[in-house]
Structure 1
Amino acid sequence: MRIAMVSVVANPLTEGTGQEAHVRELSAALCGLGHEVTVYTRRAATRSADRFRTDEKYEVVQVPVGPAKPISDDELVAHLGEFAKFLAEEWRLSSPDVAHSHHWESGLAALVSAHRVQVPVVHSHHGLGPSDNEERADAERLLARRASWTVATSMQEVTQLMQLGVHRTQTTVVPPGVNLELFEPEGPVAARGSLRRVVSVGRLEPGSGLATAVAALSVVDGIELVIAGEKTQANPVAQQLRRLARQLGVLDRIVFAGAVPHAKMPALLRSADVVVCTPRSDPFGLAALEAMGCGVPVIAAAVGALADVITHNVSGLHIPTNDARALARSLRSLLTNDTKRQELGVAAHDRVSARYSRDRLAKEALAVYQRVEPEHGSE
């Protein structure tokens, strides 16, 4: 099957634990199953090839629309027409069997392009926008009506989509998958000092929940917090976290690791006693899944995909959102109980192996593509 992945903003060639990683792992696994995958994303850097074949055999096409630099969503909307035109011209020459679009900007571009060449569109919303963003809300309602099928990443998202008007019978849950050959308990371990180590991985942005982890650190002695996932230079959230840590007297126990390469992330995760994921929302849960693949227990807010990924007190611990006291209590309970921590780590690895391997989830996505493919073939 020939599959077009449309991910306008999130480029799978970049590091990240969100949509970039989801598209990357899904595309790689589909190629591993013998299918042909091309990812279409917007070129956001001057020194990048327009077309790139990855080691895992999927092709990335970096569409040259708009300035070759990161831009805001408002700026991006003005270039979606150009992006859709590029896709339509590309697909007229060689039509995919199905297009899978990720997030609302990609969905709009894919719908316009696919209509011109009669390609079915499977869409993943990856979370719905705030009600006061009328442009995005209109786009999401359109996608709910017009996409051939909707793929959600969690049951919480299914509920949100039903409220939007997406029929449950037209929705399939396909959570993100993990490369279990990379994220496994055995392997290199990053160097660490004498303190117990807590790791948090994710974007440094409002809603990351990292202030909760910093506040918890101030009432739990003998631990360090390693924050990884994004460059900290000139990042306003990183600056806020440093100010908070300085006020609480824990700046000397925080390590800003920056953007850790994907290949080195398992070693960092294996060095952790506990991994903490406390965002306000998380449609993917990939940071938790990768830690669980490494056999490391996770404490997470019960939001988005994290509510599905972790079974409380079996494969990890759930805490309320933005509750530093609850996080501190959970940290103490695990860091003072080696047996409990090891039990959770083993159960976490078993859960990821049984449900979240990228190969299994690629097969589930493929079943969705095959469901809508007859629409294409009958035209």
Structure 2
Amino acid sequence: MTFPGNIPRLSIALVSEHASPLAVLGGVDAGGQNVHVARLAGALADRGHRVTVYTRRDSADLPEEVVLRPGVLVRHVPAGPPRHVPKDALLPYMPAFGNCLAAQWRVRAPDLVHSHFWMSGLAALQACRELGLPLAHTYHALGTVKRRHQGDADTSPRSRVGSEIEVGEGCDRVVATCRDEVAELTRMGIGDSKVSVVPCGVDTDRFTPEGPAADHGTHHPLLLQLGRLVPRKGAEVSVAALARLPEARLVIAGGPPAGELDRDPEVRRLREVARNAGVADRVTFTGGVPCEDVPALLRAADVVLCPADYEPFGIVPLEAMACGTPVVATAVGGQLDTVAEPDCGRLVPPRDPAALAHAVGELLLDHERRAACGAAGRRRVLARYGWDQVAAGTEAVYRGVLSPRPAVTEVA
């Protein structure tokens, strides 16, 4: 039996050592990669493939395997203590993780392995070399970029960049999420002839212009910044830009639960920035937002701000565009690909409050332009970033990896 693109039904192993598709989002080390792995697995299953996700057992209570949905199985790999370990401390357990993968794959080998994040790549490469299995790899974030921007604050193992090069050279194909990542990989010595670009995706049925919008109790222009409250996301830039937009209000959504905001160091720092800028009365911190409430929040905004210092891909611009809301984002990482200006929004330099305010101000002054940006953003997402397109693109990469090899065996 064959499926779209005449590729036989495959048994696919997705390896995601710290980012389980079962994790509750918003927790420590739980974010975009978890969503990506879960949705990619589901979309590949929709195309007829059988997918198993291998992730580290981080609780003694977890069963050996869990059915995520029809066609997708999650297997918990016993590597390291069965409790949460920060991802930057997981490297010592990757040889054991790789040994477990090899042991399971000796019994029933997948047709292809696709690892996610550099440590997953190390474990998967170890097992694939031992068993002669084909390997595709997605980094999700690169140590070179993190080190460049965070300097001494980077908590990654010092061996990370070298290990990323080892994985890139050892795998059969690198699946990058944007063109900027391809350029970074080239500087690392991983030539673009070995790299395919398949972007991250967004749920276009859930993130849509139709539906309720959150009520913020104001008739003033509403700006929204959504995401983790860490300095690199640029909320300080949004607050500083607000001082140049006297009629606007800013909602900063993300971080700890609302009841814990007063104790959060980043919230306290940003509140001080707002007081010093004279805009404290126009900034609202919501705390963490349940996933089901995010679309309504995006629909309520006049403009969504994504002013990160750097962004390996950036899913919030896609979610906003899918909801028909224009975006002003920094010209970094994946945002260079997703936010097509001027049609879908605006791109500005990072750490530049004046440029951010100018771009936002132009959109706020012209309702028709905002509406046109929102509509164009929705069209762009539907054309390029739905999970069905992402799965088809990923499947095409798999086909390329497998083509020089003997024909794969169809799954019973």
Output the TM-score relative to the length of structure 1: 0.92
| Equivalent in the alignment of 2:398 | 369
Provide the alpha-carbon RMSD of the alignment.
2.2
Give the structure 2 partner of residue 198 of structure 1: 223
Residue 31 of structure 1 contacts residue 37 of structure 1 at CA under 8 Å; is this kept in 2?
yes
| Structure 1 pair 192–46 and aligned structure 2 pair: CA distance change class (3 A) | farther
Residue 11 and residue 369 in structure 1: after superposition, are their counterparts in 2 closer, same or farther (change >3 A)? same
Out of 301, 313, 326, which is 1:297 matched to? 326
2:193 is aligned with 1:169: yes
Q: Which amino acid aligns with 1:146?
A: G
Aligned to 2:48: 34
- Which of 344, 347, 358 lines up with 2:387 in the alignment? 358
In structure 1, C-alpha distance between the alignment counterparts of 2:84 and 2:333, rounded to whole Å: 26
Aligned to 1:9: 18
Structure 1 counterpart of 2:94, from 69, 80, 102: 80
1:121 aligns with 2:150: no
> Does the C-alpha gap of structure 1 residues 50 and 250 become closer, same or farther in structure 2, counting only changes over 3 Å?
farther
Structure 1 segments unaligned to the other structure (5+ residues): none
Q: Show the 5 A alignment for 1:296-375.
A: 296-374=325-403
Taking the aligned partners of 1:67 and 1:226, their CA distance within structure 2 comes to 39
More displaced stretch, 287-296 vs 221-230: 221-230
Please list, as runs of the form range in 1=range in 2, the aligned pairs for 1:122-137 lying within 5 A after superposition. 122-130=136-144, 134-137=158-161
Cα offset for 1:25?
2.2
Q: CA separation in 1, counterparts of 2:60 and 2:249?
A: 38
Whole-Å separation in 2 of the counterparts to 1:244 and 1:43: 41
**Does structure 2 conserve the Cα–Cα contact (< 8 Å) formed by 1:196 and 1:273?**
yes
Distance 1:375-1:116 versus aligned 2 partners, 3 A rule:
farther
Residues 58 and 320 of structure 1, relative CA distance in 2, 3 Å threshold: same
Q: State the partner residue of 1:258.
A: 287
**One-letter amino acid matched to 1:282:** E
CA contact (8 A) 2:137 2:175 kept: yes
Aligned residues: 379
With over 3 angstroms needed to count, the CA separation of the structure-2 counterparts of 1:243 and 1:71, relative to structure 1, is farther
Contact 1:51 1:62 in 2 (8 A): yes
Secondary structure of the 2:233 match is coil
Name which of 255, 258, 267 aligns with 1:238.
267
How far 1:21 sits from its partner (Å)? 2.2
Q: CA deviation at 1:134?
A: 4.1
Identical pairs, percent = 39
Residues 375 and 239 of structure 1, relative CA distance in 2, 3 Å threshold: farther
Aligned to 2:154: none
Which stretch of the first structure deviates more once superposed, 312-321 or 160-169? 160-169
Partner Cα distance (1:43, 1:258) in 2: 29
| Structure 2 counterpart SS, 1:285 | coil
CA contact (8 A) 2:18 2:55 kept: yes
- The code of the aligned residue for 2:338 comes to V
Distance of 2:265 and 2:53 partners within structure 1: 31
Paired amino acid for 2:214: A
Deviates more, 1:69-78 or 1:161-170: 69-78
Alpha-carbon distance, 1:62 to partner? 3.3
Answering whether residue 176 of structure 2 is matched by residue 159 of structure 1, we say no
**2:108 matches 1:94:** yes
Q: How far apart in 2 are the matches of 1:189 and 1:144?
A: 43
Q: Deviations over 1:269-300 (max 9, x none)?
A: 11111111111211222110011011110000
Residues 188 and 139 of structure 1, relative CA distance in 2, 3 Å threshold: same
Matched residue SS, 1:304: coil
TM-score, length of structure 2 as denominator length: 0.85
In structure 1, C-alpha distance between the alignment counterparts of 2:62 and 2:246, rounded to whole Å = 46
Q: CA deviation at 1:37?
A: 1.6
Cα distance change, pair 342–116 in 1 and its aligned pair in 2 (3 A): same
> Per-residue displacement from partner, 1:210-236 (whole Å, max 9, x unpaired)?
111111123322333222344254543
1: CA distance, partners of 2:317 / 2:82? 32
- Please state how far the C-alpha of 1:307 moved relative to its aligned partner: 0.3
* Equivalence for 1:227: 252
Query: Which of 9-18 and 87-96 deviates more?
Result: 9-18
**How much does 1:45 deviate?**
4.8
Q: Distance in 1 between matches of 2:214 and 2:62?
A: 31
Residue by residue over 1:317-357, the C-alpha shift from the partner in whole angstroms, topping out at 9 and shown as x without a partner, is 00100111111112221122111100100111111111111
Distance 2:386 2:118 in 1: 26
Moved more, 184-193 or 151-160: 184-193
SS at match of 1:177: coil
**What's the counterpart of residue 112 of structure 1?**
126
**Larger RCO (CA within 8 A; separation ≥ 6):** 1
Number of the residue aligned with 2:243: 218
Q: Deviations over 1:297-324 (max 9, x none)?
A: 0000010000011111111100100111
Separation in structure 2 between the aligned mates of residue 54 and residue 257 of structure 1, nearest angstrom: 31
Structure 2 regions of 5+ residues with no counterpart? Answer: 1-9, 152-156
